[in-house]
């Protein structure tokens, strides 16, 4: 057996700032071992026995920057697609079904400087996952016929990209800021160049870049280190090393003048982006630039959020980030606003930056950023996928697993003066690039128990009726708190639709003891975060904090619940933002089709409406209506507090009693088990809608049953079987017939109501055939049900997903809290694997036949606007 060099490495612990509770927090050591095979392939293995899961990843050090004469063609992204289309050993369906049979979830992504293929799943199948990935990267056929079909798929993906205003503004700011460097091109490529790519061009890219000395493997999870290295040696040790010449990229000339790009886009809102050229990922200034981006545009307490959204009300959404390649990058600040506010929004963004450059951040702001960065690093380590990605990212950047720790050391060394000086150095008006996308902007241009967290869940009921669930999980110094109260669509009417979400937003606008800015900053200053939102069924108010800060989180939540002032002056701004969200939904064809199908399916019931409400109902809301909704909902008998993390149940119970013990008792807002029947029989029909988009969408929906019904879990399993890349829908409609870019199913299970949707995204000229074939597949499902191999794959994939969902405290707290709140009991979540395992082919065939009859179908199509004759 060929020899390999072995290096044991681990990230060194570095001191972190103390929390207000006095806890000394640091990023836990991420121990891993690295070996290099004789063919140049680096292999990183991390053993983490806490969950019976694994993440297997192969990183190829080639992305859109490495396309040479085909730069801008999207060649790297095309290769990513083609590696799923079959090898000399496996067909495309055998790849997807083989992974599904092993309980794995597979995906891939392409960036500027890498392409990553990964499978998350059960640790016992590590070698099986690796064998499939190795076959894909080494033995892809790059079949000419499959390439032709996949190019059609990518063209439709490009059309979808062109239909999304966020993608359009991102591409525009890139092309405006860069003139020479390939960062100016979108990763997906330009259609005109992409259309010229041949099979030989794609195969040539693979031949040049997919070599062991330009790739590395990272595996993290419940694995045995030596066995894992041996498996990699068996499967990839004979991969032939080949000459490899790194790509020489052009150097971008410094920008010496302001640039502007504008693009018209049919939308209700306008996107504004400001960009500045900055050094690359490995530059000493990168840590300061990341912190600068955080302080300007991350979270509710950020400078841009507070000034543009809260004070001036000229933006609905803001963001800032620093990203790019190894040699250069882009500092990007973005905002979404009403078309009339574009100039005010842009002016405000520049004024916020100028103020920052004049005075810099406060010591408290910088401490918040440092702590938030540490918190982000810790949260990454909660899953095997995150651990693998963290190790791989360090390895790609520097060839060392200690990069993340050195980066954190740079973060800790920052001072307010240094961050201020970085803002002055890079964010100069003369080197800025402005991108504006919106309506008519060009015309206005100026120059099982397995996998559960350790410790049993404990349940308490407080004297005021509030239910408390506590799960002790000391693995990482993190705590997630979720308080939920029944409300939402079943509690609303057509006239006050959206009241739950509007009132949830108003909670953040101030309490008797805290101003809005203080609410926004309190947990962010500790490296935590606050959630205050609502969905179709409930209010959800929560916090994610470091160990020792749970009292701070609970006290803030309690203040919002019990002492919110709901200032009348803020209602208009909240309504404006909610209406903007409603308008944004109208831009996505799939969402439009789904919403229309939902309206027809649930005619006469509350769920014909959505949690957002309508523009009319939201505009009509009064503060008194919001107060009444909150008063009826935020009571002990209607709520559940679910806490997961590094806590002790007895101690956290005392904290909850102190914070929320005075909440009035009240009662259930409504019966969560009540069925919403509406019309005796929903009237099926065919509906065609028109939008100014390039793609076509078909949704075929059926009325089913609610969350408490015995058939709900069978419908979820059918959803799993019909949504995977190995499903009959995907293989027939997309792969064999080439009729769609995406195809799948979605099970909507609400309290007292349910629906099942089959959907297809396709090109307009193929829409009729795609609809016909989807109806054929649904008819076959009702007549014959699912085959046993389909059922087994769906069950295995479902269980793998169920396990993966438990790797973070937040998802567990929410899952247990939701099950308890809706009357199923928190044990329901733990019992799900047994319920799924017990489903038979007869059960699934009966359920499909019951709900998916052709006569019960609601068919909605969204087609492009008809071209007007000249």
Name the strand (E) or helix (H) holding 623. Answer: helix 623-633
φ/ψ bin of 738: left (φ > 0), alpha (ψ from -120 to 50), beta (otherwise)? left
Name the strand (E) or helix (H) holding 858. Answer: strand 858-864
Q: Which of 372, 420, 380, 423 is nearest to 404 (CA)?
A: 380
pTM: 0.88
Q: What is the pLDDT of residues 87-133, one digit of tens each?
A: 999 999 999 999 999 999 999 999 999 999 999 999 999 999 999 99
Cα–Cα distance measured from residue 478 to residue 526, given in angstroms and rounded to the nearest whole number: 12
The yes-or-no verdict on residue 242 having pLDDT over 80 is: yes
Q: Which of 616, 585, 591 is nearest to 499 (CA)?
A: 616
What confidence tier does 11 reach under pLDDT thresholds 50, 70, 90?
very low
Cα–Cα distance measured from residue 67 to residue 74, given in angstroms and rounded to the nearest whole number: 8
| CA triple 16-19-21, angle to 5 deg | 140
177, 510, 517, 718 from 522: Cα distances, Å: 36, 13, 9, 44
At 70 the pLDDT is 93
Q: Which of 542, 600, 516 is nearest to 815 (CA)?
A: 542
Cα–Cα distance measured from residue 435 to residue 263, given in angstroms and rounded to the nearest whole number: 8
What confidence tier does 624 reach under pLDDT thresholds 50, 70, 90?
very high
Across the beta sheet with 105-110, the strand order is 5-9, 32-36, 42-47, 215-221, 53-60, 115-122, 105-110
Backbone angles phi, psi at 438, to 5 degrees: 175, -175
Q: What is the pLDDT of residues 647-674, one digit of tens each?
A: 999 999 999 999 999 999 999 988 888 8
Q: What is the pLDDT of residues 196-205, one digit of tens each?
A: 999 999 999 9
The two tokens of residue 849 are 């036949």
Contact 42, 60 (CB under 8 A): no
Contact 342, 436 (CB under 8 A): yes
At 445 the pLDDT is 55
Mean of all residue pLDDT scores within the chain: 91
47, 65, 218, 693 from 118: Cα distances, Å: 17, 21, 9, 33
The yes-or-no verdict on residue 18 having pLDDT over 50 is: no
Cα–Cα distance measured from residue 20 to residue 523, given in angstroms and rounded to the nearest whole number: 10
The yes-or-no verdict on residue 25 having pLDDT over 80 is: no
Region 417-444 average pLDDT: 93
At 607 the pLDDT is 94
Q: Which of 549, 557, 558 is nearest to 647 (CA)?
A: 549
The yes-or-no verdict on residue 292 having pLDDT over 80 is: yes
Cα–Cα distance measured from residue 646 to residue 538, given in angstroms and rounded to the nearest whole number: 26
Q: What is the pLDDT of residues 679-702, one digit of tens each?
A: 545 578 899 999 999 899 999 999
Cα–Cα distance measured from residue 295 to residue 105, given in angstroms and rounded to the nearest whole number: 36
Cα–Cα distance measured from residue 499 to residue 489, given in angstroms and rounded to the nearest whole number: 9
Region 611-633 average pLDDT: 96
Contact 756, 701 (CB under 8 A): yes
At 450 the pLDDT is 40
Q: What is the pLDDT of residues 778-821, one digit of tens each?
A: 999 999 999 999 999 999 999 998 888 888 899 999 999 999 99
What confidence tier does 449 reach under pLDDT thresholds 50, 70, 90?
very low
DSSP string of 47-84? E-TTSSEEEEEEEES--GGG-GGGTTS-HHHHHHHHTT
The yes-or-no verdict on residue 221 having pLDDT over 90 is: yes
At 553 the pLDDT is 96
Q: Which residues contact 73 (CB under 8 A, 6 or more apart)?
A: 67, 189, 190, 193, 194, 196, 197, 201
Query: In a 3-state reduction of DSSP, which class is residue 322?
Result: strand
Q: Which residues contact 750 (CB under 8 A, 6 or more apart)?
A: 489, 536, 537, 607, 706, 707
Q: Which of 284, 291, 481 is nearest to 368 (CA)?
A: 291
Q: Please tell me which residue, 42 or 829, carries the higher pLDDT value.
A: 42
What confidence tier does 830 reach under pLDDT thresholds 50, 70, 90?
confident
Q: What is the pLDDT of residues 543-597, one digit of tens each?
A: 999 999 999 999 999 999 999 999 999 999 999 999 999 999 999 999 999 999 9
At 682 the pLDDT is 59
At 792 the pLDDT is 94
Cα–Cα distance measured from residue 313 to residue 291, given in angstroms and rounded to the nearest whole number: 25
What domains lie within the chain, and their CATH numbers? Answer: 36-236 (3.30.830.10), 259-381+393-438 (3.30.830.10), 458-660 (3.30.830.10), 685-864 (3.30.830.10)
Query: In a 3-state reduction of DSSP, which class is residue 419?
Result: helix
Contact 799, 716 (CB under 8 A): no
Q: What is the pLDDT of residues 708-739, one digit of tens each?
A: 999 999 999 999 999 988 899 999 999 899 99
Query: CA gyration radius for the chain?
Result: 27
Name the strand (E) or helix (H) holding 348. Answer: helix 342-359
What confidence tier does 15 reach under pLDDT thresholds 50, 70, 90?
very low
């Amino acid at each position: 057996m060929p020899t390999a060099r072995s290096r044991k490495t681990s990230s060194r612990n570095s001191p972190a700032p103390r929390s207000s509770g006095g806890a000394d927090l640091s990023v836990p050591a991420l121990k891993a071992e690295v070996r290099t095979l004789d063919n140049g392939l680096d292999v990183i293995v991390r053993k983490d026995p806490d969950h019976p899961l694994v993440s297997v990843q192969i990183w190829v050090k080639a992305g859109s920057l490495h396309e040479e004469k085909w730069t801008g063609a999207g060649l790297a992204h095309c290769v990513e697609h083609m590696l799923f289309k079959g090898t000399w050993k496996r067909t495309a369906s055998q790849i997807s079904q083989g992974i599904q049979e092993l309980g794995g979830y597979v995906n891939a992504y392409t960036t500027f400087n890498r392409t990553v293929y990964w499978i998350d799943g059960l640790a016992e199948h590590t070698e099986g996952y690796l064998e499939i990935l190795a076959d894909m990267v080494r033995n892809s056929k790059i079949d000419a016929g499959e390439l032709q079909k996949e190019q059609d798929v990518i063209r439709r993906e490009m059309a979808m990209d062109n239909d999304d205003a966020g993608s359009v503004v991102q591409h525009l700011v890139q092309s405006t800021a860069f003139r020479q460097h390939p960062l100016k091109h979108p990763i997906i490529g330009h259609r005109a160049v992409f259309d010229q790519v041949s099979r030989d061009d794609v195969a040539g890219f693979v031949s040049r870049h997919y070599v062991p000395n330009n790739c590395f493997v990272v595996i993290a999870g419940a694995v045995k280190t030596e066995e894992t290295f041996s498996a990699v040696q068996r499967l990839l040790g004979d991969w032939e090393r080949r000459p490899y010449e790194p790509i020489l990229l052009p150097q971008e000339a410094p920008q010496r003048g302001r640039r502007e790009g504008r693009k018209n886009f049919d939308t209700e809102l306008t996107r504004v982006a400001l960009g500045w050229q900055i050094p690359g990922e490995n530059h000493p200034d990168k840590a300061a630039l990341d912190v600068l981006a955080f302080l300007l545009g991350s979270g509710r307490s950020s400078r841009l959020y507070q000034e543009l959204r809260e004070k001036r009300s000229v933006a609905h959404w803001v963001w800032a980030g620093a990203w790019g390649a190894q040699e250069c990058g882009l500092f990007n600040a973005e905002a979404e606003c009403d078309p009339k506010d574009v100039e005010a929004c842009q002016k405000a963004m520049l004024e916020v930056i100028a103020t920052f450059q004049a005075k810099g951040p406060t010591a408290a702001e910088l401490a918040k950023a440092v702590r938030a960065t540490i918190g982000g690093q810790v949260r990454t380590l909660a899953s095997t996928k995150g651990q693998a990605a963290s190790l791989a990212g360090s390895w790609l950047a520097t060839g060392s697993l200690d990069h993340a720790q050195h980066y954190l050391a740079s973060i800790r060394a920052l001072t307010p003066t240094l961050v201020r000086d970085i803002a002055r150095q890079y964010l100069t008006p003369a080197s800025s690039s402005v991108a504006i996308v919106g309506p008519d902007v060009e015309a206005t241009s100026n120059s099982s128990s397995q996998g559960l967290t350790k410790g049993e869940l404990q349940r308490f009921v407080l004297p005021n009726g509030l239910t408390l669930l506590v799960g002790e999980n000391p693995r990482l110094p993190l705590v997630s708190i979720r308080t939920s109260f029944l409300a939402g669509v079943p509690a609303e009417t057509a006239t006050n639709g959206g009241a739950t979400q509007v009132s949830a937003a108003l909670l953040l606008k101030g309490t008797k003891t805290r101003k809005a800015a203080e609410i926004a900053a309190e947990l962010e200053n500790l490296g935590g975060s606050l959630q205050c939102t609502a969905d179709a069924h409930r209010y959800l108010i929560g916090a994610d904090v470091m160990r020792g800060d749970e009292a701070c989180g609970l006290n803030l939540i309690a203040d919002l619940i019990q002492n919110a002032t709901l200032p009348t002056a803020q209602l208009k701004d909240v309504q404006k933002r909610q209406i903007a969200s409603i308008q944004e939904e109208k831009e996505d064809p799939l969402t439009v089709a789904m919403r229309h199908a939902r309206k027809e399916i649930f005619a006469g019931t509350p769920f014909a409406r959505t949690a957002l409400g309508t523009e009319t109902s939201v505009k009509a809301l009064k503060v008194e209506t919001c107060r009444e909704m909150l008063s009826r909902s935020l009571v002990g008998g209607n709520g559940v507090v679910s806490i997961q993390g590094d806590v002790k149940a007895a101690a956290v119970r005392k904290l909850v009693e102190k914070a929320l013990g005075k909440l009035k008792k009240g009662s259930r807002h409504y019966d969560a088990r009540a069925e919403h029947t509406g019309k005796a029989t929903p009237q099926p029909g065919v509906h065609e809608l028109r939008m100014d988009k390039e793609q076509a969408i078909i949704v075929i929906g059926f009325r089913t049953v609610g969350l408490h019904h015995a058939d709900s879990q069978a419908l979820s399993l059918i959803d799993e079987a019909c949504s995977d890349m190995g499903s009959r829908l995907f293989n027939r409609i997309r792969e064999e017939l080439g009729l769609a870019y995406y195809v799948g199913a979605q099970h909507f299970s609400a309290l007292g109501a349910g629906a099942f949707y089959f959907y297809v995204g396709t090109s307009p000229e193929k829409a009729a055939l795609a609809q016909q074939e989807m109806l054929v597949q649904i008819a076959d499902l009702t007549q014959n049900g699912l085959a046993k191999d389909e059922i087994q794959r769906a069950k295995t994939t479902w269980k793998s997903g169920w396990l993966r969902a438990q790797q973070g405290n937040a998802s567990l707290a929410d899952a247990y809290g939701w099950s308890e709140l809706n009357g199923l009991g928190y044990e329901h979540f733990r019992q799900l694997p047994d319920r799924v395992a017990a489903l038979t082919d007869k059960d699934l065939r009966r359920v499909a036949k019951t709900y998916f009859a052709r006569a019960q179908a609601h068919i909605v199509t969204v087609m492009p606007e008809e071209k007007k004759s000249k």
